[in-house]
Structure 1
Amino acid sequence: MGLRKKNARNPPVLSHEFMVQNHADMVSCVGMFFVLGLMFEGTAEMSIVFLTLQHGVVVPAEELPSGSRTLYHYGVKDLATVFFYMLVAIIIHATIQEYVLDKISKRLQLTKGKQNKLNEAGQLSVFYIVSGIWGMIILTSENCLSDPTLLWRAPPHNMMTFQMKFFYISQLAYWFHSFPELYFQKVRKQDIPGQLIYIGLHLFHIGGAYLLCLNHLGLLLLMLHYAVELLSNVCSLLYFGDERYQKGLSLWPVVFISGRLVTLIVSVVTVGLHLAGSQTRNANALSGNVNVLAAKIAVLSSSCSIQVYITWTLTTVWLQRWLEDASLQAAGRRRRSRAKKSTENGVVIIVIINDN
């Protein structure tokens, strides 16, 4: 019996192309390993650490006006939960890529560079929409929108509700999943440093708000940040769909600057008033006591630093686009002037410009 010829479309097992094409299936198998662990008594306890939230405490009814309930604080076991939901984020990322974004790219027939930008904008848009809706539900249920003074009147504490902790776990899991996605999405080497800084800043500030027990402030600032970023990615998606929308992107800088200013104002007011009570000398983050001058400076500095970095990055991109547009317009005027002179001399020159 003759050997079957190897299909050229199927890459070798464990090769780079094989890992990229089948990473979602392999990650699904790893995640299923933890789920199947619930079926056996010997491994159920370990699997629960990965699948469910840990460090829960039942608070008696006399300590809460709403009655007895389970609240959560952070701990080492949260790393296992973040790891499992990072696997879930990779699977969801691959599903959106295959069944939505790849089909849109084929229909629009984009170049490789525009296709990568479309994929990034599409993935982030879905994440920002889901996170925005989820975050607004949490802020509404915990009365932060109806009474914003709760952000600075309520003393910081290390206990949080189930939905608040699950939100932060999901946020950390999503941004951690962005590291392996740099490999799976074949990001260019020159783009990796910028992506690492972008991901690292999100992890630093989300993790800082989580560990310093500034959950409501961090959630509100995230909603403001995600709203501005969502508008940016939606504008990019509209631009890829039809370049006539490029003129409408002039509204984006105004919204961007307004969003950054509101974020800075909320940070200064909340941190200044929320921690402006009696300062204590013995800071203890485990008990939620961060009401010290060092904590104030750290929180305000980190909040301002990310705003400055993002603003500087966007300003650089704007300047590059303006220079490119100016050079293209100047080149177009020179071509038209040369064509006009040639026409006057009786010579017709046809210039075909392929923007692709």
Structure 2
Amino acid sequence: MGLRKKSNKNPPILSHEFVIQNHADILSCILMVFIVALYFQVSASFGSLFITLNHNITVNKTIGTHQYEDYNSLFTNGPKDLCFIFFYFLTLIIYHAVIQEYVLDKTNRKLHLSKVKTNKFNESGGLLAYYIPFFILALYIILNGYIPQINSLWIDYPTTILPWNVKIFFLLQIATWLHFYPEIYFQKIPQEDWSERCTYISLYVVFIAATYFLSFTKVALVLLTIQYFEQIIFHLSRIIHFSGKNEISKYGFMSWNIVFIACRLISFITLVLTFYFGLSKTSIPQINLVQQNFNTPIIRYNCMVAFGLLQAWLMWNFVNFHMRKRREKIGGDKKMLNFFSFKSSSTKNKNTEETKKKKRDSNRSKNPVSPISNHDNENNHQNHNSKKKL
């Protein structure tokens, strides 16, 4: 995801470079079709199908242990949610292009980073543009009374009736992580990074969509809040590190190490309390599609195992990351030791040669050879050669 170089030459229409450079403008034109449709009575229902929330119901009473007095209109999930996801899937691609061009690219030009660091900087910056607002929204929903107590995670199941902010949160989550797939193409991600990007994008899409359509929205909201808090600390520390403020980023990464382990532990405890102890009290033998109740032993245990394996996988990657860094550090220390040992041995050899040379010079100065003796030696050598010739 390097810096996009703007050239004066216009690429051919519908070529790859043309689509990459103008994808935000193309998608804006498509979105205008749905927005303009709202202005006409004939097509207003079609436009509202994509832009506004669907499957709304109106209730003015208490449902379960949760008070809905502040909400005049509530929603359920259904197939029309796919239209909402599609519209905001396109909108988020435009939002990402604006963040990339007017924030990340300008910052990269000032920092003068290498290609590898530029890719990581753009990844962290792009993810923070979604993590921070979603974390604030999730925290607002939780503190606003959607989950007043810890036992609300399983007492109110199935949570088929959702306030507007909860429903829009989950639909935007699905649209957000889906939009990262085309971003791999639009941002020109290096091919060696595709597998890593696609792995964590797919995990987010699958787990968020499953919890939304299986009515496990409350436990998913708590787990996402914990996950986003930990990711915000990591990516902020990485951006500070690439900005050249290594002292601040050092404390940031140290804090992230502690927060990461704490978040994995809290997430695992939440899973066990919800799926193993809480929901087992209201378990049903078969799925009830009318009430959207999926609290059967098979689904419950599979969800717990899947989420548990995800936490274990994250912890495994965390341990491998630190082990790799430690090996690199040890390897770097060994190279430095070898360098200094080689340097010291070379200086020792140089010193020994210098001492030998000094000894030879001192011996010559103590036993000087006279020029007469040198002349006699030369004469003797010449006489010896002449005798050989005779």
TM-score greater than 0.5 by the shorter chain: yes
1: CA distance between counterparts of 2:141 and 2:20?
A: 36
2: CA distance between counterparts of 1:29 and 1:329?
A: 57
The gaps in structure 2 that reach 5 residues or longer are 1-6, 352-390
Segment of structure 1 superposing worse, 161-170 or 124-133: 124-133
* Cα 1:68–1:182 shift into 2, 3 Å: closer
Segment of structure 1 superposing worse, 280-289 or 241-250: 241-250
* Cα 1:10–1:313 shift into 2, 3 Å: farther
Cross-structure match for 1:25: 25
* Cα 1:65–1:161 shift into 2, 3 Å: closer
Cross-structure match for 1:327: 331
Cross-structure match for 1:240: 242
- Secondary structure at the residue paired with 2:280? coil
Structure 1 residue 198 corresponds to structure 2 residue 200: yes
Query: In structure 2, what residue type is equivalent to 1:37?
Result: A
Query: In structure 1, what residue type is equivalent to 2:305?
Result: S
Structure 1 residue 228 corresponds to structure 2 residue 201: no
- Secondary structure at the residue paired with 2:102? helix
Query: In structure 2, what residue type is equivalent to 1:126?
Result: A
Q: How many residues are matched? A: 339
1: CA distance between counterparts of 2:222 and 2:62?
A: 29
2: CA distance between counterparts of 1:152 and 1:210?
A: 15
- Secondary structure at the residue paired with 1:41? coil
Structure 1 residue 168 corresponds to structure 2 residue 170: yes
2: CA distance between counterparts of 1:299 and 1:285?
A: 18
Segment of structure 1 superposing worse, 112-121 or 251-260: 251-260
Q: State the 1:91 CA deviation.
A: 1.1
Cross-structure match for 2:91: 88
Bigger radius of gyration, 1 or 2? 2
CA contact (8 A) 1:152 1:273 kept: no
Query: In structure 1, what residue type is equivalent to 2:104?
Result: L
Cross-structure match for 1:263: 267
**Aligned-pair RMSD on alpha carbons?**
2.1
Q: State the 1:323 CA deviation.
A: 2.4
CA contact (8 A) 2:38 2:47 kept: yes
Cross-structure match for 2:342: 338
Segment of structure 1 superposing worse, 286-295 or 27-36: 286-295
Structure 1 residue 132 corresponds to structure 2 residue 139: no
Cross-structure match for 1:308: 312
**CA offset digits 1:81-138 (Å, max 9, x no partner):** 0011111111111111111111111111100110010011111122111111000111
Cross-structure match for 2:46: 46
Segment of structure 1 superposing worse, 240-249 or 265-274: 240-249
Cross-structure match for 1:16: 16
2: CA distance between counterparts of 1:278 and 1:306?
A: 25
Q: What is the TM-score normalised by the length of structure 2?
A: 0.81
Segment of structure 1 superposing worse, 56-65 or 305-314: 56-65
Q: State the 1:67 CA deviation.
A: 7.8
Segment of structure 1 superposing worse, 90-99 or 57-66: 57-66
Cross-structure match for 1:215: 217
Which of 136, 148, 166 pairs up with 2:150?
Answer: 148
Structure 1 residue 55 corresponds to structure 2 residue 55: yes
CA contact (8 A) 2:62 2:69 kept: no
CA contact (8 A) 1:61 1:67 kept: no
- Secondary structure at the residue paired with 2:73? strand
Structure 1 outlier segments of 4+, above 6 Å:
62-65
The gaps in structure 1 that reach 5 residues or longer are 1-6, 347-356
% same residue: 32
Q: State the 1:245 CA deviation.
A: 4.4
